[in-house]
Amino acid sequence: MYGGGNTFEAQQMGGVENEDPIKLAEFEARIARGEKIEPNDWMPALYRKQLIRMIEQHAHSEIIGALPEGTWITRAPGFKRKLALMAKVQDEVGHAQLLYSAAETLGKPREKMIDDLLSGKSKYSNIFNYPTFTWADSCFISWLVDAGAIVNQLANSKGSYGPYCRALERICAEESFHLKYGHHCVIHMATGTPRQRKMMQEALNRWWGPMMHFFGPPDKASVHTEILVKWKVKMATNDECRQQFLDMYVPKIWELGLNIPDPNLKKNPETGEWEYTEPDWEEFKRVINGDGPCNAERLAVRRVAEERGAWVRKALLKPEAAYTTPLA
């Protein structure tokens, strides 16, 4: 599971001014009763648009996120690690399929989603624009990036859109293996030889900044925040997710004797909140906008895969094939 906590909202999105007030009231009452919204139900344009954006970004993150880990399959230390990493990467790509399907039920064809990924119009989790220099980087992703994503996706699985919730439930069910596998890998490195330990510490140093970026900048209430919370599209703030992650995983990192590269990181005993050095948000913006160490490589690999496979898909396409929006 790789879905980043931060969903990049559209700068320009209409509100609910033009919606039918009676239908809107029924829609909101349904959500208030705890019922799910299904693809055939009436929904405001803003709800549809933000959900497509969110689910699509999550799907892209799964498929792009498989690249930095997948690169280590051939060099994984030992047969068992190789098997496990292959299984994990296969799972992640499967998660992308589930999520693209959920987004499709909202009316955006998969072709358009892939176009938007390749053109850079749609985003994916920023953290995958960083390189995996060593096996220890792969271990970091398997444990802690997955852990961060789980924090976010568990919250989203309690949202209001039925197909997304069902996809997330299926995805979360597969996650316990990923998390345990990742933790196992990090433990092995951190408690291993001095060289292994050094590798793990260096990976932690490299990835801590991007990991803190992972949940997105502190929430500034946008014009739509209140209504997206009310509609159970946005289930937790970026800061809430970040705090939850720190609370669950900093002690586990520390118990392995690893040093988190932030001298200000500590839990305030009075507030119960973690205090930390703000990561470099300018870097975050730069990387989102395409200027990260691996943005070009990630999209190039994806584009080559799409273009190389095009003839196969074309050859297999039946003349009588017809596109139908998936049902649920």
Partner 1 sequence: MQSLDPRVNRLPIPESWGELRAKTPLDQLETYEVFHQAKPDKAFEHAGIVHAPNDDMAFLFGKEQYSRRGNTCSGIWTVATHKVMVTPYTEGDTSLYDLFEGEQQHAAQTEAYEIFHLKKRGKQHVHAGTVQASSYDDALAVAQATLNDGKMVYNAWVIKSSDFFKSNAEDVDMWNTLYEKKYREAIDYRAQDKINQFKEEQNLQNHG
For residue 254, the tally of other CB atoms under 10 A from its CB is 12
CB of 195 to partner 1, least distance (A): 16
Q: Would you count residue 183 as binding partner 1 (CB under 8 A)?
A: yes
Residue among 183, 2, 6 nearest 93 (CA): 2
- Residue 176 in contact with partner 1, rule: CB under 8 A: yes
- Residue span binding partner 1 (CB under 8 A) among the ranges 8-16, 270-278, 279-287, 294-302: 294-302
- Give least dist CB 281 to partner 1, A: 26
Give the whole-angstrom CA distance, residue 223 versus residue 212: 25
d(CA 173, CA 98): 13
Tell me whether residue 206 or residue 242 sits nearer to partner 1 (CB atom): 206
Site for partner 1 in 71-90 (CB under 8 A): 71, 74, 80, 83-84, 87
- Can you tell me whether residue 267 is helix, strand or coil? strand
Tokens coding 138:
């792969």
Which residue in the set 23, 158, 170, 198 belongs to the binding site for partner 1 (CB under 8 A)?
170
Q: In whole angstroms, give the CA distance from residue 190 to residue 301.
A: 32
Compare residues 38 and 247 and give the one whose CB is closer to partner 1: 38
DSSP state letters, 190-249: HTS-HHHHHHHHHHHHHHHHHHHHTT-SPPP--TTHHHHHHTTS--S-HHHHHHHHHHHH
Decide: is 172 part of the binding site for partner 1 (CB under 8 A). Answer: no
Q: How far is the CB of 201 from partner 1 (least distance, A)?
A: 14
**161 pairs with which residues across the strands?**
37
By CB atoms closer than 10 A (0-12, 13-18, 19+), residue 207 is buried
> Judged by CB under 8 A, how many residues of this single chain contact partner 1?
69
Binding to partner 1 (CB under 8 A): which residues in 8-67?
A: 35-36, 38, 40-41
Q: Which is nearer to partner 1, 115 or 275 (CB)?
A: 115
User: What are the two backbone dihedrals, phi and then psi, of residue 274, each rounded to the nearest 5 degrees?
Assistant: -85, 135
Q: Using CB under 8 A, which residues numbered 189 to 228 contact partner 1?
A: 190-191
Query: Binding residues for partner 1, per CB under 8 A?
Result: 35-36, 38, 40-41, 71, 74, 80, 83-84, 87, 91, 94, 97-98, 101, 104, 109-112, 114-115, 118-119, 131-133, 162, 165-167, 170, 173-174, 176-177, 179-181, 183-184, 187-188, 190-191, 255-257, 296-297, 300-301, 303-304, 310, 313-314, 316-318, 321-328
